[in-house]
Chain A
Amino acid sequence: MAIQYISGKEPHAREKRLIFKNIDRVGFTPSIDSFLEDGGYEQLKVALKMEKSAIINEVKASGLRGRGGAGFPTGVKWGFIPPTNTKPVYIICNADESEPGTFKDRYILHQDPHQLLEGMIIACFAVNAKLGYIYIREEFPQAAIIVEKAIAEARAKGFLGKDILGSGFDCELYVHRGAGAYICGEETGLIESLEGKRPYPRIKPPYFPAALGLYMSPTIVNNVESLCHVKHIIQMGGAEYAKLGTPNNTGTRILCVSGDVQKPGYYEVEVGKVTMGEVIDVLCGGMKPGRKLKAIIPGGSSSKVLRADEKFKLKDGREIGIMDIPMDFDTMAACGSMAGSGGVIIMDDSRSMTWVINNLNNFYAHESCGQCTPCREGSLWMKKISDRIVSGEASPDDVDSLESVANQIEGKTICAFGEACSWPTQSFIKKFRDEMKGDCKPELVGEIVSDEGKVAAAGLAA
């Protein structure tokens, strides 16, 4: 029987719905009955009869790359647990979805929580984790209730708890709610948070979670979407799954498109099988009437901005324009940005780039955890300087100061937040320097325009 979707929310013909098969599906509910009717938990039964190493090998063969942001191969990550390990192993599902521009995990948690649980229980079995947590951001209160109910249902049916389906494998999963901090999406920050502390990220090395994670035990942290893929990899087999997408960029992924297009929304596509131009013109129905594309943030707010008229030189020598970029990990990296979390933010010619970067700098200043000085101070300075530019009270020199602050954060922090907060500023200035300088007052060149600057110039301590 063909799957029916809610009117107006039907998938586009160019989509390949694997993870989002049941999203907006008529008659499908988050209950376990709905999931079982649809063949749910069958892959768990298959997996429980497999060798643990064989499951990990299938995930490696699938080529699945993490869907949370870094794009690291999931199977390889699982393989990092030291073979000599004797400590308990934990799995944490990162459902702290908070990268601006990203909105996919919410739908899985709300509408198809058992898909996540099945994938996660298979993952637990594969790495021999008997305890796992689903770290759900505080701003998803309904999701926490739905997933807790799903866990209770799964336990009642014997898919969780002691001796799962007679396999001898025990596993418990719990929901753990965050409390509104973006940094908890960083895996070691998340682990600290789960230990009941401030989520200050840990330095790597030595604190690679696969060796020294939760409670200093081996811990695998995977994104919601990544864990859902595990179920489909078992169903299809790793090699068959790897035929989806393009080489080294396998499978499907959910693109979250927001901003100045006619039909923003979520679109699950084979990785690399659609171009940026197709995302905009085909999936999203084009730009708004009378508007032209100006810039794109392709993989969540931390990814470097792409300018509409840029040309990108690829490794094979080809030169392509922005609309020709295939939506995959490797090409996006070759274009100087990243596929990141799949959050694509489209900006048209009505947008001030100064205003955009100021909005993001306010975000990063708010979310820096404050542990490392360059990031704590730098993110705040980037906010203050761009606040000044946007309010028209800055000197053109301030744009250079802003860039210099960003340059002094990148690479000088414990976690990747340092890059996440400096890349937007660096890339916006690199690509829209004239526009940003144009928003400043030329007569202020050489003048000290801020109160802090006056204090510093007078040689007084602030």
Chain B
Amino acid sequence: MALAIPAELESKIDEVITHYPVSKRSAVLPLLHLMQHQFRFISDEIVNWVAAKLSLEPIQVLEVVTFYPGFRQTAPGKYHIRVCRTLSCAMAGSYELMDSLCQAAKIDRSHVDHHHPIAVSEDGKYSIEFAECLASCGFGPVCMVEDDFFEKVEPAKAGELLARYSA
């Protein structure tokens, strides 16, 4: 099935490409961001579409997708959560936060590894992964839910945080 790109998205894509007058290839990351925002993850179809749009070989797009942790190749939950794992947040309790978020969201992280960092809840509503340093080290533990950012999240209040994303 061909990928259905909404007209508004395609015009945004065309506009973004103009930001790179020297090389269209520079638009790979921005296009992947726009596509991931729309479709939630980067499928092979999207890789091919972006490659065609920028006159690249699909591998030139795929190698970017597989390198950057910010691009996902599988579907996340409706609300994707990232918990900072790195030192200052870990000292402030980010591992405890991860555990209590998983418990509250009923997520099993036992199968997670370097190449499959994301775990999704059974109902598909939430997904979670550890992120490396989210740059708010003085106010840990910190996490992101979708594009929203939260500081000093008490592990005991994980349920309250999730309740804000219950729709």
- Name A's B-contacting residues (CB within 8 A): 88, 97-103, 105-106, 131, 137-142, 174, 176-182, 193-199, 214-215, 256-260, 264-266, 297, 301, 343, 345, 347, 351, 356, 359-360, 362-363, 366-367, 369
Contact = CB atoms under 8 A, between A and B. Distances in A.
A318 to B, nearest CB: 31
| List of 3 A-B pairs having minimum Cβ-Cβ separation, nearest first | A179-B70, A179-B68, A180-B70
Contacts, number: 143
Contacts of A140: 135
A198 B29 contact: no
Contacts of B138: 103, 256-258, 264-266
B132 A196 contact: no
Contact of A258 (B69, B85, B137): B137
B88 interface: yes
21 contacts: A98-B132, A98-B133, A100-B87, A100-B88, A100-B132, A103-B137, A138-B33, A176-B19, A176-B26, A179-B29, A179-B70, A181-B68, A181-B69, A196-B23, A197-B64, A198-B67, A260-B91, A301-B87, A345-B87, A345-B137, A360-B87
A179 B69 contact: yes
Contact of B23 (A215, A265, A356): A215
Nearest to A284: B138
Nearest to A181: B68
Most central of A100, A105, A140 by chain B CB within 10 Å: A100
B90 A180 contact: no
Contacts of B144: 139
B162 interface: no
Contact of B137 (A102, A199, A215, A362): A102
B32 interface: yes
A176 B69 CA distance: 16
Given A101-B87, A196-B23, A366-B114, A258 B131 contact: no
B70 A138 contact: yes
A196 B27 contact: yes
Nearest to B88: A258
Given A196-B25, A363-B132, A366-B114, A343 B137 contact: yes
Interface string B1-40: 0000000000000000001011101111110110000000
A301 B133 CA distance: 10
A142 B87 contact: no
A11 B91 CA distance: 25
B135 A97 contact: yes
Nearest to B144: A139
Contacts of A194: 26
Contacts of B87: 100-101, 297, 301, 345, 356, 359-360, 363
Given A198-B64, A366-B114, A256 B137 contact: yes
Nearest to B67: A198
A177 B86 contact: no
Contacts of B133: 98-101, 182, 301, 363
B59 to A, nearest CB: 11
Given A138-B33, A138-B70, A180-B70, A195 B25 contact: yes
B68 A180 contact: yes
B69 to A, nearest CB: 4
Contacts of B22: 88, 131, 214-215
Nearest to A383: B114
Most central of A103, A106, A141, A260 by chain B CB within 10 Å: A103
Given A178-B29, A359-B85, 14 more contacts: A100-B87, A100-B132, A101-B87, A101-B133, A101-B137, A102-B137, A103-B138, A138-B68, A139-B134, A177-B33, A180-B68, A196-B26, A196-B64, A366-B69
B23 A264 contact: no
B139 interface: yes
A367 B132 contact: yes
A196 B24 CA distance: 8
B93 interface: no
A179 B32 contact: yes
B132 A366 contact: yes
Contacts of B71: 179
Contacts of B76: none
A363 B85 CA distance: 8
Interface string B62-77: 0110011111000000
A52 to B, nearest CB: 22
Most central of B64, B131, B133 by chain A CB within 10 Å: B133
B98 to A, nearest CB: 13
A379 to B, nearest CB: 12
Nearest to B68: A179
A362 B147 contact: no
Contact of B70 (A178, A196, A362): A178
A20 B22 CA distance: 35
A247 B82 CA distance: 43
Contacts of B25: 195-197
A403 B32 CA distance: 40
A406 to B, nearest CB: 17
Nearest to A138: B70
Contacts of A347: 91
Contacts of B54: 196
Contacts of A181: 67-70
Nearest to A347: B91
Most central of B27, B32, B70, B132 by chain A CB within 10 Å: B132
Nearest to B86: A100
